[in-house]
Chains A and B, each alone.
Chain A
Amino acid sequence: KAGVTQTPRYLIKTRGQQVTLSCSPISGHRSVSWYQQTPGQGLQFLFEYFSETQRNKGNFPGRFSGRQFSNSRSEMNVSTLELGDSALYLCASSPLAGGFNEQFFGPGTRLTVL
Chain B
Amino acid sequence: GENVEQHPSTLSVQEGDSAVIKCTYSDSASNYFPWYKQELGKRPQLIIDIRSNVGEKKDQRIAVTLNKTAKHFSLHITETQPEDSAVYFCAASSGVDSSYKLIFGSGTRLLVRP
Instruction: Please give the residue numbers on chain B whose beta carbons come within 8 Å of chain A beta carbons, in ascending order.
Output: 1, 6, 9, 31-32, 34, 36, 42-46, 49, 89, 91, 93-95, 98-107
Q: With a CB–CB cut-off of 8 A, which chain B residues contact A90? A: 43-44
* A49 and B7 alpha carbons, distance in the complex (Å): 31
Choose one: A42, A97, A100, A105; the contact of B106 (CB below 8 Å). A42
Q: Contact check, B102 vs A42: say whether CB atoms are below 8 A apart.
A: no
Shortest distance between the CB of B54 and any CB in chain A (Å): 14
Kindly report which residue of chain B lies nearest to residue A35, judged by CB atoms.
B104
- Chain A residue numbers with a CB within 8 Å of B36 are 105
Contacts of B45 in A (CB 8 A): 105
> How distant is B73 from chain A, measured CB to nearest CB, in Å?
16
User: How many A residues have CB within 8 A of the partner chain?
Assistant: 26
A45 near B103 (CB under 8 angstroms)? Answer: yes
- Report A-chain residues with C-beta under 8 Å of the C-beta of B104: 35, 42-45
21 contacts between A and B (CB under 8 A): A40-B9, A42-B6, A42-B89, A42-B104, A42-B107, A56-B100, A97-B98, A97-B99, A97-B100, A98-B102, A99-B93, A99-B94, A99-B95, A99-B99, A100-B32, A100-B100, A102-B49, A103-B34, A105-B36, A105-B45, A107-B42
Query: How many Å lie between the Cα of A95 and that of B43 in the bound state?
Result: 18
> Is A55 part of the contact surface with B, judged by Cβ < 8 Å?
yes
Rounded to whole angstroms, the CA-CA distance of A97 and B93 in the bound complex is: 11
Q: In the complex, how many angstroms separate the beta carbon of A60 from the nearest chain B beta carbon?
A: 12
Tell whether A59 is near chain B: CB-to-CB under 8 Å. yes
Closest to B104 in A: A43
Does chain B have a CB within 8 A of A48? Answer: yes
